[in-house]
Amino acid sequence: MNTPNKLTVARVIITPLFMLALLTSIPHRFIISAVIFSVAAITDAIDGKLARKNNQITTFGKFLDPVADKMLTTAALLAFIQEGICGAWPVFIILTREFIVTSMRLISASQNIVIPANIFGKIKTATQMAFTILILVWGEFVETFGFLANNFKFLTNIMIWITAILAAVSGIIYLIQAKKTIDFSK
């Protein structure tokens, strides 16, 4: 197994550790979770670059990398719902977009068509990762010092809604691209 694929597998393994840290009542669980999530997010940034740079792109990596990404981001969203940090509706929008785009990717792959990620999808992913880290760090300040506790849930919901809007826009653009290239009669 090459290094990029090892990093992707590491992200899959790190994800439940992230959830475990966040959803337990250990001291400083938010900052511990932020560190774990950040390490996982860094593996996401590195694995694709390494695979392209070293000509190590594999079918395994093409399949597992997006799965690992969705596992990590979904874990954060589900933990945020459980913790009462965000509502279910923006998470529903984000996850629906992920299911639709993943389905379109599978259909296009079966027809040997590659629909590249659009800039809005990349912005959505970067924003979602950054907002998740920000929410976790802020959660640490709230839990440890009571810092801006009154506005925490309101502002975290705004961040998640921004992510949901970006997810919807990027999903719609992806569907338009898919409609132009995929033969839906097959």
The pLDDT profile of the chain, 186 residues, written as one tens digit per residue, is 898 889 999 999 999 999 999 999 999 999 999 999 999 999 988 988 888 898 888 877 877 888 899 999 999 999 999 999 999 999 999 999 999 998 888 888 788 887 777 788 889 989 999 999 999 999 999 998 887 778 889 999 999 999 999 999 999 998 998 888 887 777
Q: Tell me what pLDDT residue 19 has.
A: 96
**3-state DSSP assignment of residue 125:** helix
CATH 1.20.120.1760 describes domain 3-181:
yes
**164 CB-contact burial (10 Å; exposed 0-12 / middle 13-18 / buried 19+):** buried
Nearby residues of 76 by Cβ (< 8 Å), 6 or more positions away: 18, 37, 132
Inter-residue contact 87 to 81 (CB < 8 Å): yes
- Nearest CA among 10, 140, 103, 104 for reference residue 65: 10
State the pTM of this model. Answer: 0.89
